[in-house]
A and B are shown apart, each in its own frame.
Chain A
Amino acid sequence: MTQADMGHDIAAAPGSASGAPTCSADVTSLVGAHAERLENLYPSVPATVNREEGLMLYRDMTLGRRFEDKCAEMYYRGKMFGFVHLYNGQEAVSTGVIKAMKLQHDWFCSTYRDHVHALSCGVPAREVMSELFGKETGCSKGRGGSMHLFSKEHHLLGGYAFIGEGIPVALGAAFTSRYKRDALGDASSDSVTAAFFGDGTCNIGQFYECLNMAALWKLPILFVVENNKWAIGMDHNRATSDPEIWRKAAAFGMAGEEVDGMDVLAVRAAAQRAVERARAGEGPTLLECLTYRFRGHSLADPDELREEAEKEFWAKRDPIKSLAARLIEQGLATAEELKAIEKEIDAEVADCVEFALAAPEPKPEELTRYIWAED
């Protein structure tokens, strides 16, 4: 990518007196700058995986997809309430990053679109589904809900419902890692934190405040931007002056990288590089993953704004189908083996629903429990 490629269809021309959006003449794509960026990505070397790793990634992404499909079904059947934001289409990011890190050692921080991150971290599907049903067996004991999944056991720092507020929390976890190593002299303290957030979040102050502090103190953190182009109904290119988010890293003197967020092996390779830098004490990375959500912003979103052509462009790049094709092509798995995994996942998802439906509600007498550290 070059500077000339930036912000094709919406960038205000510097000389334009009106400042009105202008389109460059050579743009013929029907699907916009976001798709074009993906097509023009400088090819990165994808991660090499063996059979076991390949199947693990496939399993995780399939679990994410089918779990979310089940959530939609349960929501429309009236088993689930509130705002529910599904992750379909973005699985390569969660799986690509989290599975490149050490579970129950590194830390993970999510947003309101957090179900699949939780699953990738290893929170059992039963605990996540129970939480969505508001049950006592939920990972947040039914007190959190869809946007507030937490698991200390699995180092999930939480789902944060307001834009950007999770980033400083993730920064704090990265600070603890460095504090233990450098202030307490614990040489084994090398945990890295991954903070996930979207393109819309890259316009809020906390994002910039935290990039600055992370670079300043060389904290072991990955800022993972899931750029799915749409902040609810706001096209990324209408919301930000420079749509190439990864370039903002340069202003803070940190490593920045853009990656095909529909390609789990590309994301995995980028995450591995970033984690290696972080563990070596070389500080943070801003990783922009170009991706797309296949569903609306939430299940309450009628999704009327996005063009069919755009949706089709991204649907063709379904990250799970791509991985399946790759595994088969490389002889790491057969179509039958992948089908068998899908069947296992379907059974796991059915089991978690059954478990969550039968699980107990929180006790009314425990309404005020968990306010204070002592109870």
Chain B
Amino acid sequence: MAETLLFNALREAIDEEMARDPYVCVMGEDVGQYGGSYKVTKDLYEKYGELRVLDTPIAENAFAGMAVGAAMTGLRPIVEGMNMGFLLLAFNQISNNMGMLRYTSGGNYTIPTVVRGPGGVGRQLGAEHSQRLEAYFHAVPGIKIVAVSTPTNAKGLMKAAIRDNNPVLFFEHVLLYNLSEDIPEGDYICALDQAEVVKVGSDVTILTYSRMRHHCLKAVEQLEKAGVSVELIDLISLKPFDMETISASIRKTHKVIVVEECMKTGGIGAELLALITEHCFDELDARPIRLSSQDIPTPYNGALENLTIIQPHQIVDAAQQLVAGKI
């Protein structure tokens, strides 16, 4: 076990996979000489050279499409979105080509690509740099979507994403890169399609992902003191959802809260609760609760920004009311 920062866990994963497979390469803005704006590819340019760690011009649509063509002809590109919001400019390539091309080609081609980078609401970065594109990309067929939340799952999921033969959208969070913990030594992978039961409990199930996992953990601490037993699940896989793990928990607690950082309308929670209604309708003892960000562009002002996203005390309140039968 070694104490590792999350950005270094990602870096280790990419480094190990590049050493393992010469077809794995990285492309994006400032990934090479600069080492990545969050240092996820630090020193890899020196180690692997300018083609394997390719600094691209600022042209998201074109370099995302270039990754598709490279993947179709044998490479396994990892594309960095310097900020995930910039990938709005690559939406066509990610949707039409990464996501749909295998199907429209009748299985002629596979597109083994990873598109990774920082998403989420940071600290006063303004609306455009505070996006949660996981919801926007959710309807695109043919792509897997994961969100990492700890150094341990960041490394294991990155290795799994690189080895997967499908396109994977890999969401990191701008505020989690300096999170530190002991991670397993050496080579390990985490399944891309499995949720993680962070804490076992019996009164209420809380489903969350990415940075909100840590807000939920703060809330769980208070709830435990108040005698509420929470089962906390980190979804990890946003597409497809691990309905097996989710359903098993709801069959136990019969109450569910979704805590998400994306906006409420058309969000991850919207789809998740629709599925829970379909799968677990008879298991629910109370209406499900959705704690989401406001449906607004993220404001710059710090106090307003805090009001935009869910805070731990709101999770505590919601759980207590739900368990007390007040909802």
Chain A residues engaging chain B, CB cutoff 8 angstroms: 107, 109, 138-144, 148, 150-152, 157-158, 160-162, 165, 167-180, 182-184, 205-206, 209-210, 212-213, 216, 369-374
Q: Are A172 and B105 in touch, CB under 8 angstroms?
A: no
Cα distance, A148 to B101, chains bound together (Å): 9
The chain B residue with its CB closest to the CB of A180 is B74
Residues in B86-118 with C-beta less than 8 Å from chain A = 92-93, 96-97, 101-112
CB-based contact B106/A165 at 8 Å: no
B105 touches A144 (CB 8 A): yes
Residue numbers in A under 8 Å from B141 (CB-CB):
371
Q: How far is the CA of A173 from the CA of B67 in the complex (A)?
A: 9
B325: chain A residues at CB < 8 Å are none
| A168 pairs with B93, CB closer than 8 A | yes
B49–A169 contact, CB under 8 A? Answer: no
Complex: how many Å from CA A87 to CA B65? 26
User: Residue B73 contacts which of A107, A150, A167, A371 (CB distance < 8 angstroms)?
Assistant: A107
Contact B59 A213, beta carbon cutoff 8 Å: yes
Known contacts A140-B106, A165-B92; 4 further A-B pairs (Cβ under 8 A): A107-B73, A168-B64, A168-B93, A182-B51
Q: Point out the residues of chain B lying under 8 angstroms from A369, CB to CB.
A: 107
Contact between chains at B57 and A179 (CB < 8 Å): no
B25 smallest CB distance to A (angstroms): 7
Question: In the complex, how many residues of chain B place their beta carbon closer than 8 angstroms to a beta carbon of chain A?
Answer: 45
Measured CB to CB, the closest approach of chain B to A64, in angstroms, equals: 22
Choose among B56, B70, B71, B105 the residue that contacts A158 (Cβ–Cβ < 8 A).
B105
- Beyond A140-B105, A143-B103, whether A371 also contacts B70 by CB under 8 A is no
When chains A and B are docked, how far (Å) is the Cα of A170 from the Cα of B57? Answer: 17
Bound together, the chains give a CA A206 to CA B89 distance in angstroms of: 11
- Our pick among A143, A172, A177, A212 for the contact of B67 (Cβ within 8 Å) is A172
Contacts of A148 in B (CB 8 A): 104-105
The answer on a CB contact under 8 Å between B66 and A175 is yes
Complex Cα–Cα for A141 and B108 (A): 9
List 4 A-B pairs, minimum CB-CB distance, nearest first.
Answer: A172-B69, A168-B65, A141-B106, A373-B165
23 contacting pairs across A/B (C-beta < 8 A) = A138-B106, A140-B108, A143-B104, A148-B104, A152-B109, A162-B96, A167-B62, A168-B66, A172-B65, A172-B70, A173-B69, A173-B70, A173-B73, A176-B69, A176-B73, A176-B74, A177-B73, A205-B61, A212-B59, A213-B63, A370-B106, A370-B107, A372-B166
Distance between A368 CB and nearest chain B CB, rounded to angstroms = 9
What chain A residues lie within 8 Å of B70 (beta carbons)? 172-173, 175-176, 179
For A173, list chain B residues within 8 Å (CB).
Answer: 69-70, 72-73
Contacts A172-B70, A179-B51 hold; do A150 and B108 have CB atoms under 8 A apart?
A: yes
A209 touches B69 (CB 8 A): no
A residues less than 8 Å from B65 (CB atoms): 165, 167-169, 171-172, 206
Enumerate chain B residues within 8 angstroms of A179, measured Cβ to Cβ: 25, 51-52, 70, 75
Question: Of the candidates A140, A143, A169, A213, which one forms a contact with B68 in the assembled complex, judged by CB atoms under 8 Å apart?
Answer: A169
A171 and B62 form a contact (CB under 8 A): yes
Considering only residues 1-54 of chain B, those with a C-beta below 8 Å from chain A are 22-23, 25, 49, 51-52
Please state if A373 and B68 are interface contacts (CB–CB under 8 Å): no
The answer to whether B156 has its CB under 8 Å from any CB of chain A is: no
Write out the residue numbers on chain A whose beta carbons fall within 8 Å of the beta carbon of B164.
373
Closest A-chain residue to B59, C-beta based?
A: A209
Residues of A within 8 A of B101 (CB): 150, 158
